[in-house]
Amino acid sequence: MTAKRKQELLLAMSIFLALCSIGFSFDGKTFFWFWQKHPTIPILLLLFAFFAVRYWLKLEIEKQRQQIQAEYLKKKAHQDQNDFKKLLSPREIEVLELINEGLSNKDIAGKLYVSLSTVKTHINNIYKILEVKTGEKQSKR
């Protein structure tokens, strides 16, 4: 059973129990409120309704907490992604974007009109700034 379905059932049950507690009966001549003959039954029904609503609220709060946490983590991941670009120079960002496009170091050098060693320097700077640890550097692409 899903959490949403469980919450719907809890709410419906609490409403039903609350309505049952104010029920009445008819003996042919007069109406009697349920609580007039048996005062403990409506009290118990309302108590059960209270606990059902309390549990429903607990589930609702947990659901909202999870939504807030998921949204926070999504924003934090997005923010972390954008923060690293603040650490890089505009030229290093260009080099990084060209690497992401799949270009080799030689192609990047040709496209940016710089030497191959300059491209390698930019890549090394990117590695240092982003704290990339690799067994072998991709300097001979």
Q: Are 77 and 12 in a shared domain?
A: yes
Predicted confidence (pLDDT) per residue in 82-135, tens digit = 667 778 888 988 998 899 899 999 999 999 999 999 999 999 988 888 777 765
Q: Are 44 and 3 in a shared domain?
A: yes
Q: What is the mean pLDDT of residues 34-41?
A: 73
Q: Are 104 and 56 in a shared domain?
A: no
Distance CA 55, CA 63 (A): 12
Return the number of other C-beta atoms located less than 10 Å from residue 52's C-beta.
Answer: 20
Domain around 111? 89-141
Q: Are 77 and 93 in a shared domain?
A: no
pLDDT tier at 136, thresholds 50, 70, 90: low
Q: Are 97 and 130 in a shared domain?
A: yes
Quote the mean pLDDT of the chain. 80
Q: Are 33 and 58 in a shared domain?
A: yes
Report how many domains make up the chain. Answer: 2
* Cβ contacts of 78 within 8 Å, gap of 6 or more: none
Distance CA 96, CA 136 (A): 18
Percent of the chain with pLDDT over 90: 20
Return the number of other C-beta atoms located less than 10 Å from residue 92's C-beta.
Answer: 18
pTM of the model: 0.44
Last residue of some domain: 72, 87, 102? 87
